[in-house]
Amino acid sequence: MTRLIVTNDDGVHAPGILALANALSELGDIQVIAPSINQSASGHKKTLFQDIAISEVQMADGTPATSVGGSPADCIALAALGLLNWPPALVVSGINRGANLAQDVTYSGTVTAALEAAIFGVPAIAVSLDNRDANDPADYAEAARVAVAVARVALTRPLPLRVILNLNVPNVERVRGIRLTRQGVRIYRDVLNRNGSIARMEGPEPIGEYEHEATDVWAVHHGYASITPIHLDMTAHQFMADLSAWDLQV
């Protein structure tokens, strides 16, 4: 039977991962491994040379899951190193509470869990819902439906090595369709709140440059699910020729 691993960064008891695991169960045997607590915006953090707590838990509906006292990337790395039956046919990370668009992918534990799977040579999808107030599995129903549709095809079509799919779903009752997109630009509006020796970064939701139709930001803003292929090669290839003209010498 087809085996899939489901993970996230919102924590093993988050409603989004429960909705995702339940929806994906129609595609095969699901194993859930996720952080024990919320690890949002943890980026590609990997815990080395430190103890990591592991326990077997049940999600709200009784679905068994492995809880990891580490990052989303730790969850996949541990699975790949033998904690779970590896390799699966597909790793799906999410459903994240809030979109992961544009520069968000550098912060996102949801995305970097999928990238960790790609490092180990397994195809992966990161799934996010553009709704930071989604607190019930039912809130994720449309995102889960879209995720299953994408995962179903991904199981039959090979992804290039070290490439993942970043899927973002708007907060709508029914998406207008799926757009293949590139990363757009987000404009963050964080502010510093300081109280003596304590500092806090917070602020309203970021906005985006919505005029560029080919981007993930535009698609989600206009009611489409966006799929952006992301790869681990972060080389700015288009800048190489210009950089060579710098005539760097030591």
Q: Give the whole-angstrom CA distance, residue 137 versus residue 124.
A: 22
- Tokens linked to 115: 């990238």
Q: Could you tell me if residue 29 is inside a domain? A: yes
Q: Could you tell me if residue 7 is inside a domain? A: yes
Query: Looking at the whole model, is its pTM more than 0.85?
Result: yes
Q: What is the pLDDT of residue 38?
A: 94
* Range(s) of the domain holding residue 79: 3-244
Q: Give the whole-angstrom CA distance, residue 49 versus residue 94.
A: 27
Name beta bridge partners: 31: 5
Q: Within 10 Å of residue 36's Cβ, how many Cβ atoms?
A: 19
Q: Give the whole-angstrom CA distance, residue 103 versus residue 184.
A: 8
Q: Could you tell me if residue 185 is inside a domain? A: yes
Q: Could you tell me if residue 96 is inside a domain? A: yes
Q: Could you tell me if residue 117 is inside a domain? A: yes
CA separation, residue 88 to residues 84, 161, 171 (Å): 9, 15, 30
Q: Could you tell me if residue 80 is inside a domain? A: yes
Which residues does 14 contact at the CB level (< 8 Å), separation at least 6?
8, 34, 38, 97
Work out how many domains the chain is built from and give that number: 1
Q: Give the whole-angstrom CA distance, residue 228 versus residue 166.
A: 5
Q: Could you tell me if residue 250 is inside a domain? A: no
Tell the residue number behind the tokens 């509470």, with chain if given.
Answer: 97
Q: What is the pLDDT of residue 139?
A: 98
Q: What is the pLDDT of residue 212?
A: 87
Span between the terminal Cα atoms of the chain, in Å: 58
Q: Could you tell me if residue 121 is inside a domain? A: yes
Over the chain (250 residues), the average pLDDT of each successive run of 10 is 96 98 98 96 94 97 97 98 97 97 96 98 98 96 98 96 97 98 95 96 88 94 98 95 93
CATH of the domain at 160: 3.40.1210.10
